[in-house]
Structure 1
Amino acid sequence: MTAAERDPGLQPERTRLAWRRTTLSCTVVALLAGKQALHGGATPAGVVALSLSVLAWLGFLRVANRRVQGMGTSRPQPMEVRAALLAAACTVALAVFAAAMLF
């Protein structure tokens, strides 16, 4: 079987669902970060960390949305390196900002 004859089966659908689950997880993390930042009152450091968390969340949503839309074609293209790096950076940034809000 050649690459042109490849039948991806349900793999694009599974990948699309995985991106949606990951987006939902990032949304929950961002909401919990907001709750934590505002729990003891809105301090300047908490507001900054919350703002940066929201920016990281929005960046991840953009990457995920573009990837989910790309998986809707009959022959999805591989993910771009730049998009993968941005998704990883947003995920790490959310973790760092969450840790910063705890201390």
Structure 2
Amino acid sequence: MSPSRDGEVRDAGLQPERTRLAWRRTTLASAVVAVLALRQALRGAGRPPEVAGAAVIALVWVAFLWVAHRRIRALAAGRPPELAPRAALAVVACTMALAAFAMAMIV
């Protein structure tokens, strides 16, 4: 057990491990979405818009993977730090970008 900011004793229990596993599941789901999006983007004749879209999708996925990997490593500590607002914003931006590309491909 470790003391919290208020001086109370906090038992983290399995919460950091569950959070690490949730990040891994989210990363896996993001990888599947990125692969399906790449497949759909490149399914056409390989025109420049499709290739550019595939490149952006790949970059967004790599950015998400980078943030998630950093968070998974941070959660391995005994008392992991809080998720930085900048990292949270990056994850939200990556998710929204993938959703926007999905909408663009459907329409």
Could you tell me which residue of structure 1 aligns to residue 97 of structure 2?
A: 93
Contact 1:49 1:101 in 2 (8 A): no
Q: TM-score, normalised by structure 1?
A: 0.93
Identity %: 52
- Kindly state the Cα deviation for residue 41 of structure 1 after the two structures are TM-superposed: 2.0
Higher helix share: 1
Could you tell me which residue of structure 2 aligns to residue 14 of structure 1?
A: 18
Say which SS state the counterpart of residue 85 (structure 1) adopts: helix
Cα distance in 2 between the residues matched to 1:52 and 1:35? 13
- Kindly state the Cα deviation for residue 62 of structure 1 after the two structures are TM-superposed: 0.6
| Pair 1:79 & 2:83 matched | yes
Cα distance in 2 between the residues matched to 1:41 and 1:11? 47
Say which SS state the counterpart of residue 25 (structure 1) adopts: helix
Matches within 5 A, 1:33-72: 33-72=37-76
Cα distance in 1 between the residues matched to 2:85 and 2:73? 17
Aligned length: 103
Q: Any stretches of 5+ residues in structure 1 without a counterpart?
A: none
Q: TM-score, normalised by structure 2?
A: 0.90
Cα distance in 2 between the residues matched to 1:99 and 1:42? 19
Q: What does the per-residue CA deviation read over 1:45-95, in whole Å, with 9 as the maximum and x for residues that have no partner?
A: 111111111111011001000000000000001000000000000000011
Bigger shift: 55-64 or 92-101? 92-101
User: Once superposed, which parts of structure 1, at least 4 consecutive aligned residues long, lie more than 6 Å away?
Assistant: none
Cα distance in 1 between the residues matched to 2:101 and 2:53? 6
Letter aligned with residue 58 of structure 1: V
Q: CA RMSD in A?
A: 1.5
Q: Which has the higher contact order (CA 8 A, sep 6+)?
A: 1
Matches within 5 A, 1:26-37: 26-37=30-41
